[in-house]
Structure 1
């Protein structure tokens, strides 16, 4: 995950964008419908930014660790978690899961619009497989393939993925040790005169 400085700078006002809030609410709803969450579960949020998705899902699970490579985002996430009165069950840590170790094991991993910023996706998926319990669930929301790069055309420094081909992502998940891969439509994002699809991909470790 790169572009940390840009996210550091944007962190304080990130949640002010109504589009970001609508997207996280839609993704949270899709995850609730696709994955059975219980109060005994421990969750891991990958590229969790301000922690908004995990705050929305917090009542469904026992605890959440929100991770992000951006120090600015993690600071805002800690403030949001405290303001929501969830510091006993949620915490935010600055970590890049493609390279940095993280202690513990988790029952469920979720992520919203973070994977397209990850250069070494295979390394991240292997890391997540290692952090999940056997039978643990993965729920990833991200952009469908955007062949002409229109979604990030306004960001000159963007060097991530222009969305994902679902078949290729399913293959990468299988190689990392996941099975029972499923895709559903989570929401859409309107930019300019175009609508971009956002999928929710679920998978099970070891299935």
Structure 2
């Protein structure tokens, strides 16, 4: 299966206003849904350039951005250096390839990453293994769409997800207290796409 090369788009990723807005909207939905604490250590899976990572970092004790793209990790590291952010760091790591993760965490987040993951339940099981007992996941991704969202389908394995699918995946991975809500919408051209937020707890 061919994966998308995110290294080649890392340097210009933040220049798309809708991506910046989407991350802020998802961050707001997470803050509205999850009881964040200044004592918590968090991890943002598939962090990209850290748009969501840095949005949530001020509310937490620490934040780790995890991504398989070195280019994206370098961008987040540069942002932290440029702005003097002390509680956030970026790590290149590919959980799908079984690379050793860091942790444990009180919160694991992800924004618009799941549709690039071939096998969802094994990944969610890995994420649950990174959480403290009672820790939360908050995962945002497209609601089921017709395949028109991506101009280039390389590395896109799912055209979004239904609420029922996300609930089922999380249950299979062993999570409890599962809830799925609409986080925001994203406009591309004439089309408007719905983005869901799924939250759950590691029992």
Please report the TM-score for the alignment, with normalisation by the length of structure 2.
0.95
> Any conservation in 1 of the 2:166–2:198 contact (CA below 8 Å)?
no
How far apart in 2 are the matches of 1:166 and 1:120?
A: 17
1:201 aligns with 2:202: no
| 1:81 shift after superposition | 1.5
When structure 1 is superposed on structure 2, of 25-34 and 159-168 the one drifting more is: 159-168
The aligned counterpart of 1:52 is 51
Paired residue total: 202
> Any conservation in 1 of the 2:7–2:69 contact (CA below 8 Å)?
yes
Query: Helix, strand or coil: the match of 1:27?
Result: helix
How far apart in 1 are the matches of 2:156 and 2:38?
A: 38
Question: Given the alignment, which residue of 169, 180, 183 partners 1:183?
Answer: 180
Please report the TM-score for the alignment, with normalisation by the length of structure 1.
0.93
> Any conservation in 1 of the 2:67–2:94 contact (CA below 8 Å)?
yes
1:84 aligns with 2:110: no
How far apart in 2 are the matches of 1:2 and 1:104?
A: 29
> Any conservation in 1 of the 2:167–2:180 contact (CA below 8 Å)?
no
1:62 aligns with 2:56: no
Unpaired runs of at least 5, structure 2: none
The aligned counterpart of 2:3 is 3
How far apart in 1 are the matches of 2:199 and 2:127?
A: 13
| 1:124 shift after superposition | 0.8
How far apart in 1 are the matches of 2:28 and 2:169?
A: 25
Unpaired runs of at least 5, structure 1: none
Query: Helix, strand or coil: the match of 2:95?
Result: coil
Matches within 5 A, 1:1-207: 3-5=3-5, 7-86=6-85, 88-98=86-96, 99-146=98-145, 148-152=146-150, 154-206=151-203
1:4/1:93 CA distance change after superposition, 3 Å: farther
When structure 1 is superposed on structure 2, of 164-173 and 57-66 the one drifting more is: 164-173
Q: CA RMSD in A?
A: 1.4
